Amino acid sequence: MTSMPVSQHSAPVINRPNSTAVGTIVWLGSEVMFFAGLFAMYFSLRANSPELWHGQTAKLNVTFALINTLILVSSSFTAQFGVFAAERMQPRSTGWSPTKWGMVEWFFISYVLGAIFVSGQVWEYTNLISQEGVMLNSDSYGSAFYLTTGFHALHVTGGLIAFLIIIGRSFAAKKFGHYEATGAIVVSYYWHFVDVVWIGLFLIIYVLK
């Protein structure tokens, strides 16, 4: 009497979300509320002082701010290319062509572009203070302008530090793996967030004056 083969049923595979990515998304949700508060403050002060806003916004260099904005937005694209490289487990370049660049090269370009953006903001602050007399404690416009853009600049600076940490970690790791790739993806989430926030600030402060 021959025995029938017993069918083997494999256990279902449960794809659980990465805890680091989920934690980052939750934290970014709190950051959304923080910047929402800054936006609300800006709108409230502007509604109470329309004539002041009309005079002070005329002192802004919109062309320079637009160029600086384009620099920051372009850094999001280079950061995403770095993520694509990290997802295919390519930490560094395999050739001179950009199509062969790894995560390190793309993230370094994003770092440089972000540093140029922050330097541009510092240059703008210097001109507004020295030439236009717009200071943090000069009036409600100065307070609103420097608080909203200044806190964003601090967030960009935090992103620049994160880029350096991820780049350094890729060199320190014996083998580039899932852990390093996840770190790169999480940093890109944060960087895209600060870019989107700046687009909103640019539209409100420089365009919808």
* 169-199 pLDDT tens trace: 999 988 888 888 999 999 999 999 999 999 9
Structural domain including 126 reads 35-207
- The distance of Cα 34 from the centroid of its chain, to the nearest Å, equals 15
Tell me, yes or no, whether 82 lies in a domain: yes
Tell me, yes or no, whether 133 lies in a domain: yes
Query: What is the number of domains present in the chain?
Result: 1
The whole-angstrom separation of Cα 105 and Cα 181 is: 14
* 6-35 pLDDT tens trace: 444 444 433 445 666 677 778 778 888 999
Q: What percent of the chain has pLDDT over 90?
A: 72
Question: For residue 105, what is the domain's CATH number?
Answer: 1.20.120.80
Tell me, yes or no, whether 200 lies in a domain: yes
The whole-angstrom separation of Cα 49 and Cα 68 is: 28
Please give the model's pTM, rounded to 2 decimal places: 0.86
Tell me, yes or no, whether 14 lies in a domain: no
Tell me, yes or no, whether 4 lies in a domain: no
Quote the mean pLDDT of the chain: 89
* 112-150 pLDDT tens trace: 999 999 999 999 999 999 999 999 998 999 999 999 999
